[in-house]
Structures are given as C-alpha cells and as structure tokens.
C-alpha cells in the first residue's frame, strides 16, 4: 500500500499544482498570448499598409516611365523635324547662292562678250580704214587725191555740212 499511498499523494500534488498553475499562470499566459496576437495583428496591418503604399509607388513610377517614353518619342520626333527644316533651309540657301553665282557669271560673260564685240568692231574698222587708205594710195595718182581732198574740204567748209 505504500505504493498506493505515494501514488495518491503524487496525484493530489499534481492536482494541487494544476490548480495553482491555473490560478496563477493562466491569466498571465492569456495576457501574453493576447499581447502577441495583438502585436501580430498590428504587424500584419502595417505590412498590408506598406504593401499598398509600395503598390501606389510602383504605379506612380510606371506612370512616370510611360511619360518618359512618350517624352522621348516627342523629343526624337521634334529633333527629326528640326533636322528636316534645317536641311531644307540649307538646300534653299545653297540654291540661292548657286543662282546668284550663275547670274553674276552670266552678267560677266555678257559684259565680256560686249567688250570683245566692241574691240572686234574697232579693230575691224581700223583694219578696213587702213586697207582703204592703202587701196586709195595705190590706185589714185596725186591729182586725183588733190581733187578728192578739195571736194572734201569744200563740203566741210559749206553751210550744209555744218
């Protein structure tokens, strides 16, 4: 029976320990469990709020990236248009310059042609006069030359010649 008595005392001790544990430990453990549960709930709420904030930032940045892509396309298009305008201006300026050079060259050629013709006429006239003088000297004798000279002088001295 000793074993039964010890077993009974052990059982009473265990029941007493359980009773004391329930009285003194369950409330503090419950409070600790509630505090941990509350902290876990707050941490989850904070994590969800951070997740929502991160998603909002992501959407904002994606919008900015989209705007940057559109701005890049606009800048490229504007650059191409500016280059085309500059190219057209340069071509127009080059054509104007070429046209001015051509007009100046044509004017100079016409002036040179006119000068050359005048010189040619003058040279031809001088050559004709010299040839006529030579022909007259060789074909006319002294008396014929005097008659022509007197005839010329009389015409120059007459009132009709003036």
The residues, ordered by sequence, that sit 6+ positions from 145 with a Cβ below 8 Å of its Cβ are 136
pLDDT digits (tens, 9 = 90+) for 110-123: 999 999 888 888 88
Q: 51: burial class by Cβ within 10 Å (0-12, 13-18, 19+)? A: exposed
pLDDT at 13: 93
Name the pTM for this structure. 0.39
Q: Could you give the residue ranges of the DSSP H alpha helices within 140-158? A: 142-157
């Amino acid at each position: 029976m000793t074993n039964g008595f010890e077993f009974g005392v052990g059982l009473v001790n265990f029941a007493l320990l359980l009773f004391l544990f329930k009285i003194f430990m369950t409330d503090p453990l419950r409070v600790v469990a509630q505090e941990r549960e509350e902290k876990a709930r707050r941490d989850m709420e904070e994590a969800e709020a951070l997740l929502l904030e991160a998603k909002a930032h992501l959407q904002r940045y994606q919008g900015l990236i989209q705007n940057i892509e559109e701005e890049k396309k606009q800048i490229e298009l504007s650059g191409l248009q500016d280059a085309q305008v500059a190219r057209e201006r340069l071509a127009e300026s080059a054509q104007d310059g070429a046209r001015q050079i051509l007009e100046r060259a044509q004017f100079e050629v016409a002036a040179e042609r006119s000068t050359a013709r005048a010189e040619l006429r003058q040279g031809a006239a001088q050559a004709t006069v010299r040839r006529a003088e030579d022909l007259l000297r060789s074909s006319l004798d002294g008396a014929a030359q005097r008659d022509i000279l007197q005839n010329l002088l009389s015409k120059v001295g007459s009132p009709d010649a003036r």
